[in-house]
Amino acid sequence: MPAVLITTLISIPRALKVNRVVPGVAIPHLLGNPTLSPDEERALRRQLVLQALRALQG
């Protein structure tokens, strides 16, 4: 089953030869940023999910 790993610790999956890795925002807020407005955070989350979906296609 194809999968994408979203993480902030990019070096570990790269060392393990994981080929579908999307960098997250930060360790406590992997898919968001609490300092952004709700609309900006929604756009950020959408961008990360779309990036993960593109990784699945390739």
- Sequence-distant (6+) residues with CB within 8 A of 55 are 4, 20, 21, 22
In terms of residues, how long is the chain? Answer: 58
Percent of the chain with pLDDT over 70: 100
Give residue 9's pLDDT band: very low, low, confident or very high (50, 70, 90): very high
**Residue 5: predicted pLDDT:** 95
Residue 39 clears pLDDT 80, i.e. is over it: yes
Instruction: Give the containing element (helix H, strand E) for 21.
Output: strand 21-23
Query: Could you give the CA distance from residue 47 to residue 35 in angstroms, rounded to a whole number?
Result: 17
- Give the pLDDT mean for 26-55: 95
Q: Where are the domains of the chain?
A: 5-57
Residue 58 clears pLDDT 90, i.e. is over it: no
Global confidence as pTM:
0.84
- Give the pLDDT mean for 25-39: 94
